[in-house]
Amino acid sequence: MNEIQLSDLSLGRHIAQGSQGRIIELADHPGTVVKLYRTRELGLVDGRALAELVRIRGLVESEGLLVDHFAAWPHTVVLDGLRTAGFLMQRVHEPFLAGFGPTTALAELGLLVDTGDVQQPGVYERVLLMRALAAVMDALHRQGLVLGDLSPRNIAWSVSPVPRVMLLDCDGIRPAGEDGVLPPADTRGWEDPSNAGRPPTADSDRFKLALAIARVLTGDRNAAPGLRPDLSFAGDAGILVGPLTRLMDQAAGPPGLRPTASQWATVLDVRSPWAGTAAPMPPPMRPPMPPPLPPAMRSRGSSPSGEILRPFRRPR
């Protein structure tokens, strides 16, 4: 398993701070950051669950893309003595950044709902961004994983060179039915009311995906499947109104009957811009691979046998 002692890291500047911990750049490896859990969280961290995420990293892919193309996935466990202190992951760079005057920050999903000074993508690009999110969720579900806390703060987006997403806070991902690195958390306003107080499931993921699609496509932060969001797009985009409305009505139904991520991805998979006013989109292409990690931090990749574990399960 990939692991490294905290004392062996050369910590640089603080990049971000959240409720669970701090994100710090490595001074000697600027393409890598460390997430260090807060003191109050350390007693709750499940080191085995984090080690499992690191172990399966080389097995996770979406539409032929390796995990680093769509998720800031843990690749090395950071230990403080015998205690799990955090993990290393790739630093999210351009093009998943947005300009805020003289500064830049991650282009989080919330920017697509709470409009501000950031240039907003059009309807066509928003549809394909949600299609990309649905495709990534579908890939996780097919591999026996659940996303958990889908929220406007833990997904970054870009429309260059094509609309795509990057998952953040990936230590919240867990094998279905298994314990996670930390107790499950839900962002306020993004909960599945039928799953309140319980561990995340693929079905609760599906409800949150419908929330994200409703809010990003309408620009309404309070849109939800049960409230019949206004999906009356103008012009040729109107071809999506019927299919999206039917899926949204289905998503408002009881658990077990909600649309799968694959169903959303299929409906949102439009091939050319509408109305002829937008330039044709370039064909899908793989973004450049991130720089290789130093030897001490390199991922194990797949097991010697090449076994693909579906679903992923930790030995008890």
| Whole-number Å distance between alpha carbons of 311 and 186 | 23
Are both 208 and 143 inside the same structural domain? Answer: yes
Are both 166 and 188 inside the same structural domain? Answer: yes
- Who contacts 109 (Cβ-Cβ below 8 Å, separation ≥6)? 151, 152, 153, 154, 155, 156, 157, 165, 212, 216
Q: Under DSSP, is residue 275 helix (H, G, I), strand (E, B) or coil?
A: coil
How many CA atoms does the CB half-sphere of 267 hold within 13 Å? 21
Of 60, 91, 122, which residue is a domain's last?
91
Q: Average the pLDDT over 274-293 and give the result.
A: 42
Locus of tokens 């001074």:
27
Are both 187 and 50 inside the same structural domain? Answer: no
Of 91, 122, 152, which residue is a domain's last?
91
Q: Whole-model pTM? A: 0.84
Amino acid at 253: G
Are both 190 and 134 inside the same structural domain? Answer: yes
H or E stretch covering 104? strand 103-106
**Better pLDDT: 132 or 279:** 132
Q: What is the per-residue pLDDT for 101?
A: 53
Nearest CA among 203, 147, 144 for reference residue 176: 144
Are both 109 and 232 inside the same structural domain? Answer: yes
Q: Average the pLDDT over 115-141 and give the result.
A: 88
H or E stretch covering 243? helix 241-251
Are both 74 and 200 inside the same structural domain? Answer: no
Are both 216 and 71 inside the same structural domain? Answer: no
Are both 36 and 116 inside the same structural domain? Answer: no
Are both 142 and 181 inside the same structural domain? Answer: yes
Q: pLDDT class for 306, splitting at 50, 70, 90?
A: very low
Nearest CA among 111, 190, 211 for reference residue 157: 111
pLDDT over 90 (residue 170): yes
Q: Which domain holds residue 15?
A: 3-91
Nearest CA among 165, 278, 179, 177 for reference residue 213: 165
